[in-house]
Chain A
Amino acid sequence: MGNQYVDMGLSAPVNVTWEVTFKCNLSCIHCLSDSGKKRKGELDTDQCRKVIDELAAMKVFQFNIGGGEPFMRRDFLDLMDYAHEKGMVTCISTNGTLITEEVAKRLDKNLVYIQVSLDGATPQSNDAIRGKGSFSNVVKALEHLKKRNIEVSINTVLTRLSFPELDKMVELASAYGAKLRVSRFRPSGRGMDSWSDLNVNKNQMLDFSQWLSRHLKVSTGDSFFSVTTEERKSLGLNMCGACKLTCCISPKGEIYPCAFLQHDDFYAGKLPGNDFKTIWETSPVFESFRRLEIKSCESCHRFDLCHGGCPAIAYHTQRKLGVPDPGCLANCVKIKSPTIVAEGA
């Protein structure tokens, strides 16, 4: 990753996370956006097309689509077609429950990635988080997608429940020709309520870091750079990409640094209405994010690997930016060391 070029300031994001609706047919206990019912003010079809026009004109390469459940929108596939006509790549995060054979056929094109959420290798563990019956529905979706050779990742949020099943998740993904992607649990939306129950402890985070270093084909969506080891340092970002490489658009068109910081403190503007290029280039929120320095981390031997970690987690747990990621590997090692000594004695 050419950090020095990113630091010069890009003319547009490389990708934009776009949560296209709050509506969802599941009620996962860790949902970052507290999704459920459609909310007042969500963008309609014409407004969504204007968003696509504006971002395509700036040459944004990719949309990372999320929600809510994107397929709950009746116009969703038409909107994706519209983005593809403009040459944009779409990576769609879905709970998989609405991917029928017909939907899979429509998705069978070059510019689409699908990311299906699954939070356990068995119905028991997955459904405890995502709701009864969700595991079997996802398996059906994976079969439809596999039949069409569509590029798929299974996305698992790292929690105390999913952590012991990661090896089985690798096997499950492989059985469907999919990659495994593990993403970080963040205390946002309903994740705030379940944070203390579900978040892995520091020993588990350290074990997970070592697990990742043995599973180089498992991707992380760049959400675990705080625990990146030397083995993985060439595989992705070594810093937070918010406002430098990416940003987020909410279902109402509000623009934020990232999906996990959809908070009034980080509101940068709204589409359609405000000019996205102006927001990207001059928003005070975005500018302050680009200047964000986590001074207390600069002397750490791991600084080049993580640059202080994820500001969103620091914000949600400590209500401030510019402080170290609490899940940082250096902190985990400090906790783990006495246990190792005790076990060896």
Chain B
Amino acid sequence: MSEAGVWLVIVAVAVLTALIKGAGPLVLGSRQLPPRLVGVIVLLPSALLAALVVTTALADGQAIRIGATAAGVATGGVLLLVRAPLVAAVVAAVLVTAGLRALGVA
């Protein structure tokens, strides 16, 4: 892609992202969500975060890969469950992932 083409992509992605982020507030304005929808919103983070965890840990493009990253993330997860600080969990996950990869695990 030409340099000008890349600039076009950047501008288009910026505009689209702003529209996506702003659409909800723009459409709803000051109206309150109906109580039934509040029930959905309360559950939304659980679903979204779980989906983000599995896709970032296990998806490699459209392939599912259970390898070094998954092992590293599992290590971090165990540390989080025993209430280790986030930084410790992240460092442990990175070390395990990098270590396994150095040993040839994908």
Do A and B interact with each other, yes or no? Answer: no
